[in-house]
Amino acid sequence: MSAINVGIIGASGYTGLELVKILINHPKFHLNYVANSEGGTTLSELHPSLAKVYECSVEKADVDEAAKRCELLFLAVPHQTAMAFVEPLLACGVKVVDLSADYRLPQDIYEEFYCPHTDVENLESAVYGLPEMFRDELKSASLVANPGCFPTSAILGILPFMKFRVAHTPVIVDSKTGVSGAGKKLSDVTHFVNVNDNLFAYNPLSHRHAPEIAQKLDIPYDEVNFVPHLVPLTRGMISSIYLQVSGSFDAVEVLKEYYKDEPFVRICKNPVDMKNVAGTNFCDIYVKQKANILFISSAIDNLMRGASSQAVVNANIMMGLTETLGIPNIAYVP
């Protein structure tokens, strides 16, 4: 099989860098186009870690040029910006994996938490890029909405137990994430002096990833009680989830059976940690049961399973490749 030409629009950020690192070592994808909003630079100038590793020009993003050179494009741009690229790219027959939030939610929910949507037609045909839920749909997709990092960690932990959950009881998701999840743009919240030796919640019970969790689990938004925390780490994410359940079942066996054929979910005997998934596409999950309460803990790398490596898994599936092809699976542990 000949190489498949792919490109990245939005190469400047952390997720753009992770995409480059995966794609330059991918056995079937050829990185043929790299762009950002300004152009006129090179990858090693944007990301000095790539000097003497991989070099190419970074162009100013242009739909026509991207469509000429690529069969599939990764969009690592902010929400609202992505919509401007998706519509013309799809019209040119280019497949798209969008890492923004623009195509993850139905129009009414999206507009309540983000902004007016200008590409409703394609929104309705987008496939949510969580392979454990939508693998078959991904095989024929032209547009994939890559999930958010918090929803990925939460949904994968909760899914196996939805049939045991007591209806209309609170779903409590307490998540901690590294600072890279906020992107490169500096703010008062992510300033070193504020983050170092510190830990705090932000947007408690009102974070816009909560409706994404609720919508994909098909439960009312007001039943999801989601509180994210920023921790003084570069990367990584852990979600501690609490569910009220009923019935007689072995929670560990339920988890093992549900994910027995999934290449990127690992069931753990001990509580999970961030380090064992850093730099990989794995989601590690631990569960403990006490009477009618489940404690579920899931760990992912927010830049990888929460963004870039999951995007490449989705691209693999879209292009008819083995989904594990080229995906890093060795963690950054000593």
How confident is the model at residue 184, as a pLDDT? Answer: 74
| 140: pLDDT strictly greater than 70 | yes
Task: Over range 98-126, report the average pLDDT.
Answer: 96
How confident is the model at residue 302, as a pLDDT? Answer: 97
How confident is the model at residue 209, as a pLDDT? Answer: 95
Task: Over range 160-180, report the average pLDDT.
Answer: 96
pLDDT tens profile 290-312: 999 999 999 999 999 999 999 99
| 237: pLDDT strictly greater than 70 | yes
Query: Are the C-beta atoms of 317 and 138 separated by less than 8 Å?
Result: yes
| 182: pLDDT strictly greater than 80 | no
The superfamily in CATH containing domain 4-146+307-318 is NAD(P)-binding Rossmann-like Domain (3.40.50.720)
Which residues, at least 6 apart from 73, have a Cβ–Cβ distance to it below 8 Å?
Answer: 6, 7, 8, 9, 33, 66, 85, 89, 94, 95, 96, 97
Task: Over range 83-112, report the average pLDDT.
Answer: 97
Q: What CATH number was assigned to the domain covering residues 150-300?
A: 3.30.360.10
In this structure, the strands spanning 224-230 and 237-244 are unpaired
Q: Where in the sequence numbering do the catalytic residues fall?
A: 149
Query: Are the C-beta atoms of 34 and 57 separated by less than 8 Å?
Result: yes
How confident is the model at residue 183, as a pLDDT? Answer: 76
How confident is the model at residue 30, as a pLDDT? Answer: 98
How confident is the model at residue 186, as a pLDDT? Answer: 73
What does each C-alpha distance from 329 to 306, 312, 332 come to in angstroms?
14, 13, 10
How confident is the model at residue 312, as a pLDDT? Answer: 98
How confident is the model at residue 1, as a pLDDT? Answer: 66
Task: Over range 199-224, report the average pLDDT.
Answer: 95
Q: What angle do CA 27, 32, 35 make, to 5 degrees?
A: 130
Q: Do domains 4-146+307-318 and 150-300 have the same CATH topology?
A: no
How confident is the model at residue 132, as a pLDDT? Answer: 98
| 224: pLDDT strictly greater than 80 | yes
Taking the domains of the chain in order of start, what are their residue ranges?
4-146+307-318, 150-300
| 187: pLDDT strictly greater than 90 | no
